[in-house]
Amino acid sequence: MLEFYKNKKVFITGHTGFKGTWLCRILLLAGSNVTGYALKAPTNPSLFELSQTSKDINSIIADIRNKDELETRILEFQLDIVLHLAAQPLVRASYSNPVYTYETNVMGTVNIMEAIRKCGSVKSFINITTDKVYKNKEWLWGYREDEELCGFDPYSNSKSCSELVTYSYKNSFFTKENSPTISTARSGNVIGGGDYSDDRIIPDCIRAIKANKTIEIRNPNSTRPYQHVLECLNGYLILAMKQYNDKSLASSYNFGPDDKSCVSTGMLTSLFCDAWGDGAKWESIAQKNAPHEAAFLKLQCEKAKNALEWYPKWNIKEAVQKVVEWQKSLDSGIPAYEITDKQIKEYFGV
């Protein structure tokens, strides 16, 4: 798969974010010509800045809501592949600023689709959304790709809308033989080294430990499809590669962990405390009137396994250990890019 991306011109929106930076590092290892388009890194510190990734790619700092700027930049390059990650990605933040969330996640998708319409070189496009696009019925089995889309909160709902925008554009404007192949990718909750976002469990764990505090968990019984960030990024890249020459693969795909790695937030935190050691511990601080968040969410990923031959490689315990290894290596003075690239090479066996 990495050989395929050698010398390919890849455009990534949201490249300064946590997932975007890991994706850039993979593609740099593969020898791709990477262009990123995003706002400044959304956290301080940020993996993008720590890893000095801007030195190795063409990094464009701009807003996905700026349609004219986005079109200008996409037309500037003879792109092969576009991966759309730019988003307002947090559920609780979407309650605080729903208008910005919808502008970014819905109109941002419209803008990227419009730009691609005018760029004749793109052959493969992936819109990365979320496992939260489904209407959550709190059932115990995984959601399949043909389940009803209807996210509850503004973030989840805006991503459901983004899926519908992609579907409409694909069927309305990209039906010719030379049109790019278009798919959407829905992944579970990701963990990995260098995530400094608010309201995410592993970053919260690390911040608490740094402050010599007990880790506080809002929803310890909530179950999510947690996985290492490299799992879903591998899925996105396999999908973009395989549909590059095979239009029949255009569709929506789930990328999530196997059932045994789909754990509660409390269990994930316990795994983190065990891996970290040094007396790390956690406690529940469940809030009575907190904004709604799904209590149980799993993905059915047989479609990706059968059609794309994608499979998870690291179970949840291994994934947590990799996060702890990454953070402790950084704390010991090893450069972030070196740690990140080392784990990428381990994952891909190169």
For residue range 193-216, what is the model confidence (pLDDT) as tens digits?
999 998 899 999 999 999 999 999
pLDDT digits (tens, 9 = 90+) for 6-52: 999 999 999 999 999 999 999 999 999 999 999 999 999 999 999 99
pLDDT digits (tens, 9 = 90+) for 160-199: 999 999 999 999 999 999 999 999 999 988 999 999 998 8
Residue 294 has pLDDT above 60, yes or no: no
232: number of Cβ within 10 Å: 29
Q: Which of 278, 88, 85 is nearest to 199 (CA)?
A: 88
What burial letters (b/e) apply to 71-91, b meaning 16+ CB within 10 Å? bebbeebebbbbbbbbbbbbb
Confidence of residue 289 (pLDDT cuts 50, 70, 90): low
Confidence of residue 314 (pLDDT cuts 50, 70, 90): very high
Would you say domain 9-348 falls under CATH 3.40.50.720?
yes
pLDDT at 266: 95
The model carries a pTM of: 0.95
Quick one: what percent of the chain has pLDDT higher than 90? Answer: 89
Quick one: what percent of the chain has pLDDT higher than 70? Answer: 97
Residue 146 has pLDDT above 80, yes or no: yes
Confidence of residue 140 (pLDDT cuts 50, 70, 90): confident
- Tell me which residue has tokens 């795909």: 253
pLDDT digits (tens, 9 = 90+) for 96-115: 999 999 999 999 999 999 99
pLDDT at 292: 56
In angstroms, the Cα distances linking 347 to 229, 302, 304, 335 are 11, 21, 19, 19
Confidence of residue 291 (pLDDT cuts 50, 70, 90): low
Average pLDDT in the 230-251 region?
98
Query: What gap in Å lies between CA 67 and CA 71, rounded to an integer?
Result: 6
Structural tokens at position 273: 């405390």
Query: What gap in Å lies between CA 104 and CA 98, rounded to an integer?
Result: 10
pLDDT at 237: 98
